[in-house]
Amino acid sequence: MKVYNTLTKQKEEFVPLRDGEVRMYVCGPTVYDYTHLGHARTYIAFDVIRRYLEHKGYTVLMVMNFTDIDDKIIRRANETGEDPNELAEKFMHFFLEDMEALKVKPADVYPRVTEHIKDIIEFVKKLEEKGYAYEALDGVYFEVRKFKDYGKLSKVNLEEIVAGARVEPGEGKKNPEDFALWKKAKPGEPKWESPWGEGRPGWHIECSTMSTKYLGEQFDIHGGGNDLIFPHHENEIAQTEACTGKEWVKYWLHTGFVMVKGEKMSKSLGNFVTIRELLERYSPEVIRFFVLQRHYRSPLDYTEEGIQHAKNNLERLYNTIENIRIALEKAEIPFKWNKEEFELYEAIRKAKEKFYEAMDDDFNMAEAMKPIFEVANAVNKYLAEVEKPKESVLRKALEFFQMVGEIFGLFEEYFKESKEESKEKELIELLIQIRAELRKQKNYALADEIRAKLREMGIQLEDTPQGTIWKRIKV
């Protein structure tokens, strides 16, 4: 398996630091507003990367932070008159809801800055001790020029960025390129005690602190959107490697922008569409499918036609899966295979190989889509040609769709139990309710019939003082 490493600007063989495990960190959101498609694209891409690694048998330890205290949050809270903590809390939960709606598997740890202030202070103290950090009037700064490898990820040239003023402002810093590790509190701002007085962490330091806390001083993958390469990830490297003296992250992975009419989708340009808005018009799987049709590193054009096109394509696949399900009901035990079965089998076998080849080549999801349609075509051809389809080849096709569905987060309706199960509960509750109503109406015959029939299905009703409850029994 090969992955493109932003650090080396080439595809490299993927060999995790520990056998059988991949430790990955993806920069999470600053929770001050709704998630838009630009963010979702990044999280869906890393979700598929994570699912694919899990599919390959790796234990994946996935950490994503929440920046729940930050300039942007304070500014927004001031605008709306809310408490910054409450604002952050609210948008953090909206984010989690959006991710759940989009079927992005939850991270193993979602460290919040506000719950890791102590760890961050420790980290800054170490940098100070090692001579990389200094205290100024308004905070503690990282002295960029002391870290010799600065620029190794983004290949920025310090002189140029200083000249171009692409640096954070700060009252007391020695050099324009230095960045804040700790910001001393201004009146009314949320603040924590520290050796440098009351204040709060700078932005970059949280990721160095929390990633190494959960993933160790060296780990496999660090990811995020392209726009984080500089300065965020560059600064993270400087902080972490200065602190530990070790090479930090093995593979840096970055996602491309979502583009709207040639411009990056972003809060500041106001050309964004939130996940909530999109979900009113399209299903989560349509959104995933739309995103996955482009390579995760390439820009993705957001247009209505594009997403409609994705919807149509996805529906073709749904129809194929539905056709398989229907055909399976009348399918035969395969006592013999004819030419048609061999052909379908070969189509599936080759498609599976192509799928793996594409995914093994820097998670090329766009390329991996193609064999899915090849299987769909082969299945539909088979079903058109054959009067009595054979169970085994149909089942192989279904397993293929299930496999790619699990990796891409698609076709859930066809393979997942969760929804069915919750509907089962709802249906039982409805029957209990109808039975209670019948008993009130003194229609005991029908009420008892409901109870008896449910019992036959292995569902026992019990009338308790708190109402009727049910449990499963063996029948």
The contact set with a second copy (CB under 8 A) reads: 19-21, 54-57, 59, 61, 66, 96, 106-112, 115-116, 214, 333-337, 341, 345, 348-349, 352-353, 356, 391-393, 395-396, 399, 415-417, 420-421, 423-424, 426-428, 430-431, 433-434, 437-438, 441, 443, 446, 449-450, 453-454, 457-458
Minimum separation from the CB atom of position 149 to a second copy (A): 30
Q: Which helix (H) or strand (E) holds 391?
A: helix 391-408
Q: Please say which residue, 159 or 329, places its beta carbon nearer to a second copy.
A: 329
Minimum separation from the CB atom of position 163 to a second copy (A): 41
Q: How far apart are CA 237 and CA 229, in angstroms?
A: 10
For residue 179, give the nearest of 242, 235, 252 by alpha carbon: 235
Minimum separation from the CB atom of position 110 to a second copy (A): 5
Beta bridge partner(s), residue 18: 21
Minimum separation from the CB atom of position 438 to a second copy (A): 7
Q: Please say which residue, 112 or 204, places its beta carbon nearer to a second copy.
A: 112
Q: Please say which residue, 63 or 307, places its beta carbon nearer to a second copy.
A: 63
Minimum separation from the CB atom of position 322 to a second copy (A): 12
Q: How far apart are CA 213 and CA 217, in angstroms?
A: 8
Q: Please say which residue, 57 or 262, places its beta carbon nearer to a second copy.
A: 57
Q: Please say which residue, 56 or 191, places its beta carbon nearer to a second copy.
A: 56
Q: Please say which residue, 356 or 373, places its beta carbon nearer to a second copy.
A: 356
The tokens describing 17, both together, are 């630091």
Minimum separation from the CB atom of position 379 to a second copy (A): 15
Q: How far apart are CA 442 and CA 132, in angstroms?
A: 82
Q: How far apart are CA 381 and CA 347, in angstroms?
A: 11
236 to 69, 179, 202, 272, 467: CA distances (angstroms):
17, 11, 11, 28, 57
Q: Please say which residue, 140 or 351, places its beta carbon nearer to a second copy.
A: 351
Torsion angle of the four alpha carbons 183, 228, 51, 216, in this order, in degrees rounded to the nearest 10: -50
Minimum separation from the CB atom of position 386 to a second copy (A): 15
Minimum separation from the CB atom of position 100 to a second copy (A): 11
Residue keyed to tokens 């048609």: 340
For residues 430-463, b (16+ Cβ closer than 10 Å) or e, as one string? ebbeebeebbeeeeeeebeebbeebeeeebebee
Cβ–Cβ under 8 Å, residues 381 and 393: no
Q: Please say which residue, 165 or 333, places its beta carbon nearer to a second copy.
A: 333
Burial of 22 per CB tally in 10 Å (0-12, 13-18, 19+): buried
Residue keyed to tokens 């000249």: 163
